Amino acid sequence: MNPPTISAAQNPPPRRDPIPAPNPSLGNLGFETRHRTDFRHLWHTILEKLWILILCTIAGLFLAFGYLARTPKLYQGHIVLEVDIQEPTLVRSDDGASRMRSAFLASQDALRTIEQNLTNRTLLARVIRSEGLAEDEGKALLGITKSAPPRKESAAKTTTAETALTQTEQALGGALSGMVKPVVRRGTRLIDLFVVNQDPALAQRLSEAVGREYIRSSIERRANFAEDTLRYLLEEEERLKANLQKSEAAVAEYKAKTPDALQLGGGANSNTGQQNAPRSGMVEEKLQELNTKATAAKAERVRLEGELAQIEGTGDNLEALLALPSIAVAPAVIERRRDLSQIETALATLGQRYKEKHPRMLAARAALNEARAALKQTVLQQPALLRNAIEQARTTEDSLRAAAGEQEKAALALNKAAIGYQELARQADTDRALYESVLRQIKETDLTKGTKTNAVSVIEHSPLPSAPVSPNPMRVIVLGLLGGIAAGLATIFGANALDRSIKTVDQAETTFALPVLAAVPEVSRTESSGGEEKPDAPLGTSSYRLVAEAPEGPAAEAFRNLRAALSLLGPEEERKIFLFTSALPNEGKSFTSANYSLSLAQQGHRVLLIDGDLRRPSLHKIFRHIGPEGGEEAKDAEQYGIVDYLVGDVPLGDAVRVVSARDVDIIGTSSPSATSTVTATGGQLSVLAGGRRAPNPAELLSGHSFAELVTEAAKLYDRVVIDSAPVLAVSDTLLMTPFVQTVCMVVRARRTARNAVQRAVLLLAGTGTRPAGVVLNRLPRNRGTDYYYYYASHGYGAGEGSYTGGYADKPDRKKRRKK
């Protein structure tokens, strides 16, 4: 129920009607949802918890020194191995296996393989045996004893093939593998072999022994491989020799059974493959030659037959016959035509000298006629001659074809005989090639099996180590220091990341999107009581009324800042009713509302402080009532309070009690600083305590009585301050907010989770109320939290009489300063 409306002339209670609002979200309230890295905050976090960093650093240094004290010194033996691209050999070999071996040695894989083989446990167990380190159960190797057993040559020459490795040697070989470290030099074919041990002489001895044993092992492997290869080759030589004899016998037997195979040539021991190719080629060439001649004879016959047909088609026409090329080029025809031409030339010459009837002219003409007759006769004889030539060409063609047929039969018979012969000959050639290859390899293997060559060689021997390589004191100390610093920083940042509380003013304003109205610092008991500790202070704190008891302290100045900040939020008539609440219990809302009320009273206002926390009232403990005779009343519970007013048992005037000057002391004793209430213009503080216990607080606050209380209090007092219950604990505060003008959220620094405060702000926003700001309570004043400047401190203005003893008591202050 809303309170009755009062005009401004009657000094009405400034209030707002409740405004229903939709469910608010983080976005529309401006809460920070993205966490950005604040390096300044991290720096101050480090400063605040610097003791953790120092402690971890000291612990790291102690661990480093302890490690140096307990870790034995290790000395390092160092030899350098070189890997050749090609293994040295007495016989030059260009076979594929040698080329593949050289290609492998030239690759980085070969270097890595050799590097890994240098830490082979079997190889290192052989080193243990060759150096005789298993005789003392490995005590010298493991640093248990100082003197190592001497190296025995007989043990060095013993191989694993002769005697199996013992379990002790294998175990010590595994221990030695942790001391050996081969490293391939980048871009070279060199391998650095490092061996560490507590004994410098033994470290040098082991490095030489590992390199020597690896080379010896490689040579033994090659020798064993050569012996196995030679044994295998000898067995293969016997088998291939028998196969070759069988193949050659089969070739000879085939030739004996097949007469045509004799034309292929070769004998039982000859290279039949090479003999066969020329002979079979000669038969084929002869067959091809006969076929070519037969084809040419046929072509000649066809040509002659064509010419004969052309002559027969011409008939007896001499001129037409002479025009034919076959007749014109005939030798007899050419001769007759030449004779005729000569006679015609002579007749022409005689015709120039003689007349037609001259005997010589007549004789010449008779000779001309005879020549023409002879030419004609010769031309007419050419068809008969051509027929004879055709018959001759046909006879030649038939002869050539018959010869070609015979030659073809001979070639087919030879090819048929060559099929089986070539198969047997190829088998014999293959057996011969394999046999010769095995013989060559037997000679090379037998020649090189005794050579002790290897691709790996020692090019730099190990000197006697003069200084230990591990542990490195400077490195261990630096690592311990850095490790301690890293652990300290990790602990600090981890704790800071897990801490969801509000630590600084800037963080509060950024997180809640609300201004911080005041930052109340943490106050010790001696500071709050003027140097005298009060162990019996109410509510487990040193003092709750710091504005009155320690007016020159930083906490009192913080509440004056709060008073100034709230007074600047708007006109005075709109800032009369204040409500202090928190998200969770024990955050200092009662402490804040009490001291804020005292600061208002010191400014000259008539202030009513209402204890609105009906479930856990506390103002009656902060302002204990003193009777008129100076004796304390029997029970605080017998005093009237807000519950009595809300149920209608007493009026407001009877439920309110005025805090007098003699009621400043929280424990009821007199003190020089508690003789009068510190005010500027006669202000007065009245308290409406909780009174008797309320069985139904929510129902009392939701009725019209609370609205009437606020209305009446606004008429009678200049300021009304309400101390309410936590928002997240109960719903009482949400029922009060529609009747107040300003809501302040009290947040305890370094304790209250930010999500709890955000949830409380959301619930207040659901009633249409947005907090005016945040009061950051109990903010530590150590170096790490130097984010906020406290203007009021113990030094500035202390002892100048600003607050202590009142404004009209200067002589007393001078006396106290003299004291």
Average pLDDT over residues 676-686: 62
- The DSSP result for 319-357, as a single string, is HHHHHSHHHHT-HHHHHHHHHHHHHHHHHHHHHHHS-TT
Entry pTM: 0.54
570/563 Cα distance (integer angstroms): 13
**Span 371-407, pLDDT tens digits:** 778 777 777 777 777 777 778 888 887 887 887 777 7
Give me the pLDDT at residue 88, please. Answer: 58
Q: Alpha-carbon distance 242 to 420, whole Å? A: 21
| CA dist list (Å): 499 to 30, 33, 39, 586, 598 | 22, 16, 17, 18, 34
Domain boundaries, the chain: 15-29+500-818, 49-70+471-498, 272-448
Confidence band of 347 (pLDDT split at 50, 70, 90): confident
Contacts of residue 406, Cβ cutoff 8 Å, sequence gap at least 6:
none
Give the H/E segment covering residue 277. helix 272-314
Q: Which CATH class is domain 15-29+500-818?
A: alpha beta
Beta strands in 741-780 (DSSP E): 742-748, 773-779
Average pLDDT over every residue of 77-82: 94
pLDDT tens digit sequence for 218-267: 888 888 877 888 888 888 888 888 888 888 888 777 777 776 655 555 44
Strands (E), 242-393: none
Name the 3-class secondary structure at 802.
coil
For 520, phi then psi, to 5°, come to -90, 120
When comparing pLDDT for 287 and 349, which is higher? 349
- Beta-strand ranges (E) seen in 353-491 are 456-460
Each residue of 548-587: pLDDT tens digit? 666 777 888 999 999 999 999 888 888 899 999 999 999 9
Cα separation, 366 vs 350, whole angstroms:
13
- Residues contacting residue 805 through CB under 8 Å, at least 6 positions apart: 672, 673, 675, 812, 813, 816
Q: In which region does residue 328 sit, left (phi positive, over 0), alpha (psi from -120 to 50) or beta (all else)?
A: alpha
Nearest CA among 718, 777, 785, 710 for reference residue 747: 777
Question: What is the percent of the chain where pLDDT is above 70?
Answer: 72
In degrees to the nearest 10, what's the CA dihedral of 451, 456, 457, 462? -140
CA 285 to chain centre: 76
14-52 pLDDT, tens per residue?
444 433 333 444 445 666 655 567 788 788 888 888 999
| Residues 46/38, Cβ–Cβ less than 8 Å | no
The residue ranking higher by pLDDT, 523 or 518, is 518
The burial of 322, by beta-carbon neighbours within 10 Å (0-12 exposed, 13-18 middle, 19 or more buried), is given as middle
Separation of alpha carbons 668 and 538, rounded Å: 11
Name the nearest CA neighbour of 197 among 141, 153, 150, 247: 141
- Tokens 């003789």, located at residue: 675
Instruction: Please tell me the total number of residues recorded for the chain in this structure.
Output: 819
- Integer Cα distance of 162 and 193 in angstroms: 28
What is the number of other CB atoms lying within 10 angstroms of the CB of residue 41?
Answer: 17
With residue 57 as reference, give the H or E element that holds it: helix 50-70
